[in-house]
Amino acid sequence: MLEVIFLGTGGIMPNKERNVPAIALKYKSEIILWDIGEGTLRQFNIAKLSPMKIDKIFITHFHGDHYLGLMSFIQTMSLWNRERPLHIYGPKYTFEFVQNYLKSGFFRAGFEIHVHELGEARLKFGEYEIWSFKVKHGVPALGYVFKEKDKRGSFDIEKIRKLGLIPGSWMKKLEKEGKVEIDGRIIHLEDVTGKPKKGVKVVYTGDTEPCERVKLFSENADLLIHEATYIDKADRNESYHSTVSEACEIAKKAKVKLLALFHRAPRYTYEEYCTRAREVCNYKFIIPRDFDVIKVGEGYELSSIR
């Protein structure tokens, strides 16, 4: 089960109703952070989450509303005597921008910070992977995929018996090694187990205008968090953002299970945005507010920690 916690759901600037982008992925005992806009530390405190559980921060791009909360996290971690390293990931120029950012003021981190510049990459972390993919935003920018590893099916007693075998200690060896020899026959794990269970897949676009890479990386996702800054093209003008209807069209083409419309511009009230979304989106969607939580597993469950 993966918990997707929306700590900031608006874009461009914070207001009294919602903060700027930050999404926490709570997976077992770990918290992964996608973007870290100004005020994210305050949102963590309200949500009763600990910054000390974060080892990885993935920044989509270096516009202020997506990264200016980083310094307060690093200073707080230092004051709390953090010892283990923090890993920061982002697009081209991440190393330069983070180094310049950390040199400002009179404070220095009391622990190691490792900075990773990514293109399109597939990073493996035990039971899950994070994929990065390029999006269109006028500056170097990435979207991210959380992909839990598929889990093997359970042992199928009927399959075992059809092979003339008896359940026993050989099953532990098979589970560990993937194959085992019994009476001169090679038995593979898939010969005696049920259908594998697909791991959870969640996609976050960051800021982008509609693009084919989003559709490709979002195919069959359990949840697509797609920026939908504006409610129509006239409002967008020449900016590199998406509208509500464009986000819905991408979700439909990618056959995702659920779409979350994200990064609402401050010019709209929540009610105005919802009304427009219901008019133009004929796909299954939600409009999360700050502190909403989606539990993604077999299906999904929506709640709030406000």
> Which has the closest alpha carbon to 25: 48, 45, 54, 52?
54
On whether both 163 and 251 belong to a single domain, the answer is no
Q: What is the pLDDT of residue 158?
A: 84
On whether both 205 and 278 belong to a single domain, the answer is yes
Distance CA 220, CA 253 (A): 10
On whether both 251 and 108 belong to a single domain, the answer is yes
Q: What is the pTM of this model?
A: 0.89
On whether both 140 and 171 belong to a single domain, the answer is no
Q: Is 66 annotated as a binding residue?
A: yes
Q: What is the pLDDT of residue 20?
A: 97
Which CATH number do you get for residue 20? Answer: 3.60.15.10
Domain end, chosen from 168, 191, 214, is at: 191
On whether both 218 and 85 belong to a single domain, the answer is yes
> Which has the closest alpha carbon to 126: 105, 146, 103, 156?
146
Work out the average pLDDT over 268-296. 94
Residue 213 CB burial class (10 angstroms; 0-12, 13-18, ≥19): middle
Q: Is 226 annotated as a binding residue?
A: no
Domain that holds residue 170: 157-191
Q: What is the pLDDT of residue 153?
A: 76
On whether both 296 and 163 belong to a single domain, the answer is no
Distance CA 57, CA 76 (A): 15
Q: Is 207 annotated as a binding residue?
A: yes
Contact 170, 149 (CB under 8 A): no
Q: What is the pLDDT of residue 30?
A: 95
Residue 11: pLDDT over 90:
yes
Q: Is 116 annotated as a binding residue?
A: no
Q: Is 114 annotated as a binding residue?
A: no
Q: What is the pLDDT of residue 300?
A: 80
On whether both 185 and 213 belong to a single domain, the answer is no
Joined tokens for residue 33: 């952070």
Tens of pLDDT, residues 12-50: 999 999 999 999 999 999 999 999 999 999 999 999 999
On whether both 146 and 222 belong to a single domain, the answer is yes
Domain total in the chain: 2
Domain end, chosen from 136, 166, 191, is at: 191
b/e 274-292 (16+ beta carbons within 10 angstroms → b): eebbeeebebebbbbebbb
State the residue for tokens 């926490």: 24
Q: What is the pLDDT of residue 107?
A: 82
Could you tell me the pLDDT band of residue 7, with boundaries at 50, 70 and 90?
Answer: very high
On whether both 170 and 209 belong to a single domain, the answer is no
> Which has the closest alpha carbon to 88: 147, 127, 32?
32
Q: Which of 25-34, 150-159, 271-280 has the lowest mean pLDDT?
A: 150-159
Tens of pLDDT, residues 182-236: 888 898 888 888 777 889 999 999 999 999 999 999 999 999 999 999 999 989 8
On whether both 47 and 174 belong to a single domain, the answer is no
Q: What is the pLDDT of residue 237?
A: 85
On whether both 162 and 275 belong to a single domain, the answer is no
Tens of pLDDT, residues 225-246: 999 999 999 898 889 999 999 9
Residues that are catalytic: 65
On whether both 30 and 112 belong to a single domain, the answer is yes
